[in-house]
A and B are shown apart, each in its own frame.
Chain A
Amino acid sequence: MANTESLENVVLELRRGVIVLAALSQLSTEQYGYSLLKQLSDQGLEVDQGTLYPLLRRLETQGLLESVWKLEEARPRRYYIISAEGKKILPKLKKEWFDIVSVMKKMLT
């Protein structure tokens, strides 16, 4: 029991950083919360709703995303899109990621 719990915790921690990168990479076209969640899960990355939505908001206050409310199907939705600042740092983040992957690959095999 304690084992699976600590495994889950480590996995969650590993994923947390990845979600930021994943969200930024997918938001070159505007998306609302649920559609981004779907898009991520269609590509194989399952993210908790309770994790993704607060994260989007935090990225916006950090200036990496921009958002706008739109009224559709009688329901207001908040659309997020990557900001100029976000576009600037995304390539650097990508490079960082690939570096980590290659280092870890060597370390783990």
Chain B
Amino acid sequence: MSLIDRYVAEVGRHLPSSEREDIEKEIRSTLEDTLEENTQKGKPANDENISTVLKQFGDPELLAQKYSPRKSYLIGRTWYEIYIQILKRVLGTALPIVWLVQIFVKHDASDKLGQVLTQSFGATFNIGIHVWFWITITFVILEHVGVKPSELDGNKNREWSPERLPALPKKRQISFTDAITDLITSVVSIVGGIVLLSISPTTLHPALFTVWVPIFLGITVLSFIHELFKLKTGNWTPALMITNVILNLVLIGFAIAFYTSQQFINPVVFAELPQKMQESIIWTIGISTAILVGIFAWSIYNSIVMSRRLQKQVELKEKK
């Protein structure tokens, strides 16, 4: 009988406690009825009989689900879109700001760059995890209390009608969220460059402050202007696409040139570092360069594809 006990317990495990006892009792009784029918008269049921009967009843979890359908997901279809949108918007705008505040409020020019970066990143990451957690919890509660998005704007008792359909949004290839995120990224880059110049830590290579960072600032200011236009236009027009391709090609060239120059750490300081550390610094910068080049290349590819798509749409409209 132990197989039956185990089966019933397994079904019960997936049932809400309010119904568990009753349903378990019912399943046990029907299992025994079926088993009796499947065994020869006068003989006790053997394991083979039992397992045939259990197979007929099927996967215990599925059976429990049929008895008491309940939500086995955290956030369902109705909330998922909104959840992701809010998460993107909050994390995308709040975290860079938090990061900047961390850098400027918690540190001053006397702190070492490495320390500033790791501490501010760590703190920002922690805050990011918190924000993510609380937003997620909020949506999980909304989902499982059974609120629907339409109920939040006071439409609870009104019946749906075609008039309530929202107006078509203006078509944008580049969403506001994405454009603003890119804009903030370029602002952060500019601010980062200026901070680096104003601190000019002696541990870093002098050429950084005379050559690399100024060039970098030049490129980022141009890309900031480019991002502004991107935000305003919202579509990959030929002009935007071409400037994007040029900017990213320049960035790729810059990243590779910077890496091959190997002018990261002050040569005097670098020579004193243990060899393992020297290698790991070069490795880290190499990998970061590779990732950045990948991101730039993807941006080039994406803008070309999107621009072509836009071109096709325009042509289609003209034909009509």
Binding site for B on A (CB under 8 A): 32-35, 38, 48-51, 53-54, 57, 69, 75-78
Per the bound structure, the CA–CA distance linking A13 and B289 in Å amounts to 56
A33–B29 Cα distance when bound, in Å, is 9
Q: Which B residues touch A76, using CB under 8 A?
A: 25, 29
Nearest A residue to B33 via CB reads A34
> Is the Cβ of A77 less than 8 Å from the Cβ of B33?
yes
| CB under 8 Å from chain A, chain B span 23-67 | 23, 25-27, 29-30, 32-34, 37, 56-58, 62-63, 66-67
Residues of A contacting B63 with CB < 8 Å? 50, 54
Shortest C-beta distance, B8 to chain A (Å), equals 13
Seen from chain B, the residues whose Cβ lies within 8 Å of a Cβ on chain A are 23, 25-27, 29-30, 32-34, 37, 56-58, 62-63, 66-67
Would A50 and B66 be within 8 Å (CB), given that A33-B26, A77-B29, A78-B26 are in contact? yes
Residues of A close to B23: CB separation below 8 A: 57
Is B29 a contact of A78 with CB atoms below 8 Å? yes
The 3 closest A-B pairs by CB, nearest first: A34-B33, A54-B66, A33-B30
5 A-B pairs whose Cβ atoms sit less than 8 Å apart in the complex: A34-B37, A50-B56, A50-B58, A50-B63, A76-B29
B202 to chain A, nearest CB (A): 69
| Inter-subunit contact B58/A34 (CB<8 Å) | no
A51: B residues at CB distance < 8 A: 66
Expressed in whole angstroms, the Cα–Cα distance for A38 and B29 within the complex equals: 15
- Bound: A17/B38 CA distance, A: 28
**Which chain A residues lie closer than 8 Å to B56 at the CB level?**
48-50
Query: Which residue of chain B has its CB nearest to the CB of A76?
Result: B29
The CB with the most chain A CB atoms within 10 A, among B56, B57, B58, B66, is that of: B66
B63's nearest neighbour on chain A, judged by CB, is A50
Measured CB to CB, the nearest residue on chain A to B58 is A50
Give the contacting residue for A54; candidates B34, B37, B67; CB below 8 A.
Answer: B67
A53 in complex: contacting residue of B30, B32, B37, B62, CB < 8 Å: B30
Q: Which of A32, A38, A48, A57 contacts B67 (CB 8 A)?
A: A57
Beyond A33-B33, A75-B29, A78-B29, list 18 extra A-B contacts (CB 8 Å): A32-B29, A33-B26, A33-B29, A34-B30, A34-B33, A34-B37, A35-B33, A38-B37, A49-B30, A49-B56, A50-B56, A50-B62, A54-B63, A57-B23, A57-B26, A75-B32, A75-B33, A77-B33
Q: Which residues of A contact B32 (CB under 8 A)?
A: 75
- Shortest distance between the CB of A41 and any CB in chain B (Å): 11
Q: Which of A34, A57, A77, A78 touches B34 (beta carbons < 8 Å)? A: A34
